[in-house]
Chains A and B, each alone.
Chain A
Amino acid sequence: MSKYILKRILLLIPVIIGVSFIVFALLELSPGDPVRNILGTNADPKEVEALREEMGLNDPFLVRYGRFLKNMIINRDLGDSYLTRTPVVDEIFMRAKPTVILAALSISVAIILGIPIGIISAVKQYSIFDNVTMVIALLGICMPVFWLGLLLILLFSVKLGLLPSSGFNSFSQMILPSLALGAQSVSVITRMTRSSMLEVIRSDHIRTARAKGQKENVVILSHALGNALIPILTTIGTQFGQLLGGAVMTEVIFSIPGVGRLMVDSIKMRDVPMVLGCILFVAVSFAIVNLVVDILYSFVDPRIKSKFS
């Protein structure tokens, strides 16, 4: 098992390098001259040239990428921000906390609500509860996070004055963003739980469990849920990716000083090293979550485990 995990971690490295290369190359294409951005459009050409040389911008593309890669792997350094001239890594670590909390809260909300509601819906298929849930879940899927966020602000901050609409320091400030970001995932996980439970409930081994005289709630919660968990886990993994993307918008709407907003601001300021750092941060977080999901698979399903041990 540990061998499998190690192998998976090693497999992450080429992917991270690949992403960094693609994004590095993409940002190379981005319009505007960083030096002119820093010094202003009317700067002395000599000064500009000196700074270009100092920042290593005159080297060929591959040399610069090689240097970036070397620094990233050996020194865990992603360069300095063009804007603040401080290390990108420091800035990202400072901004990571709200983003991580936001994503963790949202996925927790999604799991805690989605799985139980999905189970009840499946067990009581076609009941009023099921129908109402499915309608709400359908609406939840159609609701883009940026609009839901605005609606929540309008209702809870503007009209009712119950919750703050910006910042991310107190728990009350975290409620609206987590709800806005988690809503779509609640819907997706509910629907997935329901459909995979429905499929499992009809399978032969559930009939066997009932024929043994097992109580219905044990049949559902142990036998059926255990088997339905694999597709649910996959969904949770992909939803986490969606959450990381949605976090960018959520942070913009609720003025949360996280990595997502840093990324958007840096793109507008053409702060290339910072953008690159933010994107790598998301890629690494996403990769770690996928790794965790893959490891969880093997705990849930012995067939997967035996394939790798």
Chain B
Amino acid sequence: MNDNLLEIKNLSIEYVTEDGRFKAVNDLNLKIRVGETLGFVGETGAGKTTTALGIMRLVPNPPGRIVQGEIIFEGENLLEKNIKEMTSTRGNKISMIFQDPMTSLNPIMTVGKQIEEVIKLHQDIPKNEITIRAEKMLETVGIRKERFNDFPHQFSGGMKQRVVIAMALACNPKLIIADEPTTALDVTIQAQVLELMKELKEKFNTSILLITHDLGVVAEICDYVAIMYAGSAIEYANIERLFNNPLHPYTVGLFNSIPSLDEDVDKLTVISGTPPDPSHLPMGCRFHPRCPHVMEKCKENFPQAIEVEEGHFVSCFLYNKETVKEE
């Protein structure tokens, strides 16, 4: 029924270095519908950013390499596109907001020029219109157009992130990948940026892949959530279902580790152990060494995703009994 804007199938990405082979993304499956915001949640090193770079085909190579899988965007596999087709997609249909606004702008170019650049690349319009449009984008994100000819070092962190967002939105992309857009910012500015993204999403009906480790941010603007662990999505559901009924032990652990304002808890529970070393991933379910409900089969077999309730997928043997007992 819903049109999938982006569908990732069995994506695996690895980094090969002197110190070994790091499996950053493993057999990942994911989808985003038109106009939907998907929260992509996981610990540092879970492979979120690598996935994002994979969609953009910007995984640094070497050492990175897309091993297998498909990334279907508007019905076409991005991994089969040539470089020219890919450059006309980047910044135009898919754009990306990076984590650290302090370093993601070119320090020797005015912010105006940097916004103009992306418009010039993808829109066939006369020069003066490019400038007008770039100025409008700047104002859309709440920066006076008088600052058009200023350089990045003359802006604060929050302002820079607004410029990055303006750049990302300049060509009305179908999909925005926002990689922890608020992590590097102050709490108050975080709220402003999130508010801005929410507004823009409604205005332009853009789909957003929001990468974060902050469930609070997810609750604020996402429609769906995918939980990432050791390079694969272990749980996927819409926001109400996931927040009201988290299923995977890891997801449950994540929620338990957030301090709650409503309940009076003496001690926060933490997930025991540390995230797995991507060069030596455990056999079977990758979460099993840390899982409180670990069973024998978790140690050998990788659990396939199962739909527990409508649109709520989880990769865990705990929910395997009544649905598919024996394939």
Residues of B within 8 A of A226 (CB): 106, 108-109
Given contacts A204-B98, A204-B100, contact A211 B58 (CB under 8 A): yes
Residues of B within 8 A of A202 (CB): 60
Q: Are A205 and B58 in touch, CB under 8 angstroms?
A: no
Residues of A within 8 A of B105 (CB): 205, 208
Q: Are A215 and B91 in touch, CB under 8 angstroms?
A: no
Residue among A202, A210, A213, A214 with most chain B CB within 10 A: A213
User: Which single residue of chain B is at the shortest CB-CB distance from A223?
Assistant: B106
Q: Are A213 and B122 in touch, CB under 8 angstroms?
A: yes
Contact with B along A187-217 (1 / 0, CB 8 A): 0000000000000001111011111111110
Which applies to chain A's interface (DSSP): helix, strand, loop or mixed? helix
How distant is the Cα of A223 from the Cα of B107 in the complex, in angstroms? 9
- Asked if B164 is at the interface (CB within 8 A of a chain A CB), the reply is yes
- Asked if A227 is at the interface (CB within 8 A of a chain B CB), the reply is yes
Q: Are B106 and A212 in touch, CB under 8 angstroms?
A: no
Given contacts A210-B58, A212-B95, A215-B87, contact A227 B108 (CB under 8 A): yes
Q: Are B153 and A212 in touch, CB under 8 angstroms?
A: no
Cβ < 8 Å to A, chain B residues 94-130: 95-96, 98, 100, 103-110, 117-118, 121-122
Given contacts A212-B121, A213-B118, contact A205 B87 (CB under 8 A): no
Least CB distance from A189 to B in Å reads 20
Identify which of A258-266, A288-296, A301-309 touches chain B.
Answer: A301-309
Least CB distance from A226 to B in Å reads 5
Least CB distance from A200 to B in Å reads 10
Cβ contact of A213, chosen from B88, B106, B109, cutoff 8 A: B88
Least CB distance from B115 to A in Å reads 10
Contact with A along B124-159 (1 / 0, CB 8 A): 000000000000000000000000000101100000
Residues of B within 8 A of A300 (CB): 108
Cβ contact of A211, chosen from B60, B90, B107, B108, cutoff 8 A: B90
Least CB distance from A139 to B in Å reads 27
Give how many A residues have a beta carbon under 8 Å from the other chain's beta carbons: 22
Q: Are B98 and A207 in touch, CB under 8 angstroms?
A: yes
Residues of A within 8 A of B95 (CB): 211-212
Given contacts A203-B103, A204-B103, A227-B106, contact A303 B153 (CB under 8 A): yes
Residues of B within 8 A of A204 (CB): 98, 100, 103-104
- Asked if B232 is at the interface (CB within 8 A of a chain A CB), the reply is no
Given contacts A205-B105, A301-B108, contact A210 B90 (CB under 8 A): yes
Cβ contact of A208, chosen from B83, B87, B104, cutoff 8 A: B104
- Asked if B56 is at the interface (CB within 8 A of a chain A CB), the reply is yes
Least CB distance from B58 to A in Å reads 6
- Asked if B167 is at the interface (CB within 8 A of a chain A CB), the reply is yes
Q: Are A303 and B151 in touch, CB under 8 angstroms?
A: yes
Least CB distance from B64 to A in Å reads 12
Q: Are A212 and B98 in touch, CB under 8 angstroms?
A: no
Q: Are B107 and A213 in touch, CB under 8 angstroms?
A: no
- Asked if B26 is at the interface (CB within 8 A of a chain A CB), the reply is no
User: Which single residue of chain B is at the shortest CB-CB distance from A214?
Assistant: B121
How distant is the Cα of A273 from the Cα of B33 in the complex, in angstroms? 84
- Asked if B190 is at the interface (CB within 8 A of a chain A CB), the reply is no
Q: Are A213 and B89 in touch, CB under 8 angstroms?
A: yes
Residues of A within 8 A of B51 (CB): none
- Asked if B92 is at the interface (CB within 8 A of a chain A CB), the reply is yes
Residues of B within 8 A of A215 (CB): 87
How distant is the Cα of A212 from the Cα of B97 in the complex, in angstroms? 10
Cβ contact of B90, chosen from A205, A212, A227, A306, cutoff 8 A: A212
How distant is the Cα of A35 from the Cα of B98 in the complex, in angstroms? 75
How distant is the Cα of A161 from the Cα of B108 in the complex, in angstroms? 50
User: Which single residue of chain B is at the shortest CB-CB distance from A215?
Assistant: B87
Residues of A within 8 A of B108 (CB): 226-227, 300-302
Q: Are A205 and B154 in touch, CB under 8 angstroms?
A: no
How distant is the Cα of A211 from the Cα of B86 in the complex, in angstroms? 10
How distant is the Cα of A207 from the Cα of B153 in the complex, in angstroms? 18
User: Which single residue of chain B is at the shortest CB-CB distance from A201?
Assistant: B60
Q: Are B92 and A213 in touch, CB under 8 angstroms?
A: yes
Least CB distance from A239 to B in Å reads 23
Q: Are B90 and A213 in touch, CB under 8 angstroms?
A: yes
Residues of A within 8 A of B107 (CB): 205, 227, 301-303
How distant is the Cα of A120 from the Cα of B110 in the complex, in angstroms? 27
Residues of A within 8 A of B122 (CB): 213
Q: Are B153 and A208 in touch, CB under 8 angstroms?
A: no
How distant is the Cα of A203 from the Cα of B118 in the complex, in angstroms? 19
How distant is the Cα of A5 from the Cα of B216 in the complex, in angstroms? 53
Residues of A within 8 A of B167 (CB): 208, 212
Residues of A within 8 A of B98 (CB): 204, 207-208, 211
Contact with B along A227-248 (1 / 0, CB 8 A): 1000000000000000000000
Contact with A along B30-52 (1 / 0, CB 8 A): 00000000000000000000000
Residue among B56, B83, B88, B107 with most chain A CB within 10 A: B107
Residue among B91, B108, B122, B151 with most chain A CB within 10 A: B108
Residues of A within 8 A of B91 (CB): 211-214
How distant is the Cα of A202 from the Cα of B274 in the complex, in angstroms? 29
Given contacts A207-B98, A226-B108, contact A302 B121 (CB under 8 A): no
| 28 A-B interface contacts by CB (under 8 A) | A204-B100, A204-B104, A205-B106, A205-B107, A207-B58, A208-B96, A208-B98, A208-B105, A208-B106, A209-B106, A209-B117, A212-B90, A212-B91, A212-B118, A213-B87, A213-B90, A213-B122, A214-B91, A214-B121, A215-B87, A226-B106, A226-B109, A227-B106, A301-B107, A302-B107, A302-B151, A302-B153, A303-B107
Known: A208-B167, A227-B106. 12 other contacts (CB 8 A): A203-B103, A209-B106, A210-B58, A211-B95, A212-B95, A212-B118, A214-B91, A214-B121, A223-B109, A301-B108, A302-B151, A306-B151
What 4 A-B pairs have minimum CB-CB distances, sorted nearest first? A213-B91, A212-B91, A213-B90, A204-B103
